[in-house]
Amino acid sequence: MQTLDSVQNATPAGALASPAVARNTRPILDVLKAHLPAEGRILEIASGSGEHAVAFARALPRTTWTPSDPSEQARASIAAWAAEAKLPNLNPPLALDAADPDAWPPLEVQVIVCVNMIHISPWSATEGLMTGAGRVLPDPGGLLVLYGPFREADVPLAPSNAAFDDSLKARDPAWGLRDSEAVLAEARKHGLHLTRRVEMPANNLMLLFRKVG
């Protein structure tokens, strides 16, 4: 599964940097701080370069943050950023593919966070994410947090998102912005129910789901 979008070489050695991270870290953190437990274990799916993992673990020092990614290149980048940060609450990255929930290692977490994966992966990754989250998150109250652009019924698609969608599909026909209702329906199959929709900068959304039943 693809997890690394536009990245470039960066310091520390072996790390990658994503321009999107600099733009969206603070707005995402504001939502996480408002809704995550003060203490708890958090799994990040499709961590990509690892910059988010470091920023989130640093800003939420009473949580334990576990990044993951199926890409060896991404995990090397995560490890490089983590080595520089030296955060006691940031675990080594797991080799975990959202699209293959049957291969997920045993996990005990209260929260799963997934940033900018849904649209840069085939639909099977979303199905796998919901399956895995439904199995792993505690019932009741486990939290799944999604961030990214979505299509919404009765909401005009922003021109920038329409152009982005076209560019994604040109790169891979299996990619593209997902209809939010399809994502919500897939989540409900696994006991995950939308509890909050937060509008974010640059026509993105954060969707928060709670495990119930």
Question: For residue range 33-45, what is the model confidence (pLDDT) as tens digits?
Answer: 999 998 999 999 9
Residue 7 reports pLDDT greater than 80: no
Please state whether the predicted TM-score (pTM) of the whole model is above 0.95: no
**Per-residue pLDDT tens over the stretch 184-213:** 999 999 999 999 999 999 999 999 999 997
Structure confidence at residue 18 as a pLDDT band (50, 70, 90): confident
Q: Identify the pLDDT of residue 51.
A: 96
Q: What integer is the mean pLDDT of 128-139?
A: 97
Q: Band of the pLDDT at 86, cuts 50, 70, 90?
A: very high
Calpha distance 187→159 (Å, rounded) = 28
Q: What is the pLDDT of residue 4?
A: 52
Strands 8-10 and 15-17: antiparallel
Token pair, residue 196, equals 């909050």
Q: How confident is the model at residue 166 (pLDDT cuts 50, 70, 90)?
A: very high
pLDDT reading at 10 higher than 60: no
- Higher-scoring residue by pLDDT: 11, 43: 43
Q: Tell me the three state secondary structure of residue 142.
A: coil
pLDDT, one tens digit per residue, over 98-116 is: 999 999 999 999 999 999 9
CA 86 to each of CA 16, 32, 62: distance values in angstroms, whole numbers, following the listed order: 17, 22, 15
* Confidence (pLDDT) at 2: 47
Residue whose C-alpha is closest to residue 190's, from 173, 212, 160, 164: 212
- pLDDT band at residue 12 under the 50/70/90 scheme: confident
